[in-house]
Amino acid sequence: MYNNVRPQLGVPQFQPQLPTSSQPNVFGNAFNAAGSGLIRGGLGAYGEKIFGSSSEYVQSNITRYFSDPQYYFQVNDHYVKNKLKVVLFPFLHRGHWTRITEPVGGRLSYKPPIYDINAPDLYIPLMAFGTYVVLAGISLGLRGKFSPEALNWLFIKGMVGWCMQTALLKLTLLSLGSGEAPLLDIVAYAGYTFAGMSLAALGKIISGYSYYVLMPWFCLCMGIFLVKTMKRVLFAEVRSYDSSKHHYLLLFIALAQFPLFMWLGNITVNWFI
């Protein structure tokens, strides 16, 4: 159910998703959409080598873990603006939170982000992460501690934060018995924290005190957003509906945002201090 449909941008190259995929190189096809001779040639060749001789078990696992990344980049200006509003001020979202499904090629899959405000995308998390790193660099520089190595350190710290958030969400899903949500979905949901984090970092640069207001605020907003999103994911995924366990885990997700934000917001060159 979670095999995302390939982009149907009027190009007649639609390939149906089969569990034991007949295409030997998933990565080659994912980057075909990139349309570049360099990547296509190089990665296609490697894809043939890597996947051509491996067993079907490995093939189906790779297809399961890395759904087509192109799906997450079908965005436009309108989507980005509204999604940022949803992420940063989730209590203002009047509509529903469920993703729109459409039957494509015999199986149910979700609509791409252009058509559905609730679909996750990878553009906003990537840009928000970059913004966070740049703003953290500026705030280090204003304190006189900037150096290129410090920027590398901030990058790594941000990646660790992103991975921890992904792990949190993924473990929550796993503990309820369902590991079927695509990994890139979880990565996208986890990456939305950087949007709020960037605004908090901006507040820190502009005035030191506004940070202590903005940071808990965005922490709360991110908690609400994650709770609402994960609730829908859990509805769609988990077979048995165990209400109290669900709610405790959702509450745990929301509360775990606070230490994460405090750690990420404390912009230094060390791990904790």
- 201 versus 234: smaller Cβ distance to other proteins: 201
Q: Output helix, strand, coil percentages for the chain, rounded to the nearest 5.
A: 65, 5, 35
DSSP for 226-262? HHHHHHHHHHHH-SS--HHHHHHHHHHHHHHHHHHHH
For helices 183-191 and 210-237, the axis angle rounded to 10 degrees is 160
Single out the segment in contact with other proteins by CB under 8 A; choices: 66-74, 176-184, 226-234, 245-253. 66-74
Provide the 3-class DSSP secondary structure of residue 104: strand
How many CB atoms sit inside 10 A of residue 206's CB? 10
CB-based contact 100:138 (threshold 8 Å):
no
12 near other proteins, rule: CB under 8 A: no
Q: Which one of residues 14, 16, 18, 34 is an interface residue with other proteins (CB under 8 A)?
A: 34
CB 124, min distance to other proteins, A? 10
CB 265, min distance to other proteins, A? 19
139 near other proteins, rule: CB under 8 A: no
- 179 versus 208: smaller Cβ distance to other proteins: 208
Buried b or exposed e, range 65-104, using 16+ CB within 10 angstroms: eebbbbbbebbeeebeeebbebbbebeebeeeeebeeeeb
CB 128, min distance to other proteins, A? 10
Q: How many residues bind other proteins (CB under 8 A)?
A: 36
Q: Which one of residues 53, 57, 77, 273 is an interface residue with other proteins (CB under 8 A)?
A: 77
- 150 versus 236: smaller Cβ distance to other proteins: 150
- Footprint of other proteins on residues 140-159 (CB under 8 A)? 140-142, 144, 146, 148, 151
CB 14, min distance to other proteins, A? 11
- Footprint of other proteins on residues 161-220 (CB under 8 A)? none
CB-based contact 123:72 (threshold 8 Å):
yes
How many CB atoms sit inside 10 A of residue 51's CB? 19
Cα dihedral sign, 164-166-167-173: positive
70 near other proteins, rule: CB under 8 A: yes
CB-based contact 156:218 (threshold 8 Å):
no
Q: Which one of residues 90, 120, 137, 161 is an interface residue with other proteins (CB under 8 A)?
A: 137
How far apart CA 28 and CA 214 sit, in angstroms, is: 43
- Footprint of other proteins on residues 36-55 (CB under 8 A)? 36-39
- 95 versus 144: smaller Cβ distance to other proteins: 144
Q: Which one of residues 123, 189, 192, 211 is an interface residue with other proteins (CB under 8 A)?
A: 123
CB-based contact 151:134 (threshold 8 Å):
no
136 near other proteins, rule: CB under 8 A: no
How far apart CA 39 and CA 12 sit, in angstroms, is: 21
The contact set with other proteins (CB under 8 A) reads 7, 9, 11, 13, 32-39, 69-70, 73-77, 80, 122-123, 126-127, 130-131, 134, 137-138, 140-142, 144, 146, 148, 151
